Amino acid sequence: MSSKVFAAGNWERLITPQRKEHMDPVRFFNIAVPDSKEVWVDIGCGPGYFALPLAERVNQVLATDISTDMLDICRSRAREANLDNIEFIKSDSTEINIPSESVERILLVNVFHEFSAVDDVIRELGRILKPAGRVYNIDWRYERMEVGPPLDHRIREEQVVGNFKFSGFSFAGTHDIYEQNYVLEFIKAG
């Protein structure tokens, strides 16, 4: 496992009130406007910080993670919240067990910097996404902070944009809604 991957044993750090102060999912939902008919994928869902509130707004959430422990934690938290529209999918670092062109939107939160085979991951995102579907990449700003991964684990926004454009996505823009994280939006070619 890569040293950049967040350890499942620290999952409670991902759902603290302090995180909500800095990264409230509602701020993201206000710009993405999830629709009750849509199927979303949360790549690297962890304990469900975004997946659970997203499931309250959409038809279905496909929660994927490379960690069985994180999926079990997310599943348990979804059960406690009486959410039955989340499917939990174990994935590896480049393949996602989801049918081609089956989802409207994909969310990546603080995981893009963990990928070792970025181009393979983006191709896989393009495979599962419907034409004109959207990918939202939220990740740590490329600057030194007391929170988050070290600077050498972070990726500059322009590098992420370049990776997606190289793979045939259009860059739809940046949403400046979080102080510590950037939010980049991409559209799959129709």
Global pTM value = 0.90
Which residues of the chain carry a pLDDT beneath 50?
1-4, 6, 11
Instruction: Please return the burial class of 114, using the count of CB atoms within 10 Å of its CB with bins 0-12, 13-18 and 19+.
Output: buried
Domains and CATH numbers, the chain: 8-188 (3.40.50.150)
DSSP labels, 83-136: ---EEEEE--SS---S-TT-EEEEEEES-GGG-SSHHHHHHHHHHHEEEEEEEE
- Per DSSP, helices labelled H in the chain are 17-22, 25-32, 51-55, 68-80, 118-128, 157-166
Per-residue pLDDT tens over the stretch 81-110: 999 999 999 988 788 999 999 999 999 999
Reduce the DSSP state of residue 188 to 3 states and report it. strand
- Cβ 178 vs Cβ 138: under 8 Å: yes
Residue 148 has a pLDDT of 82
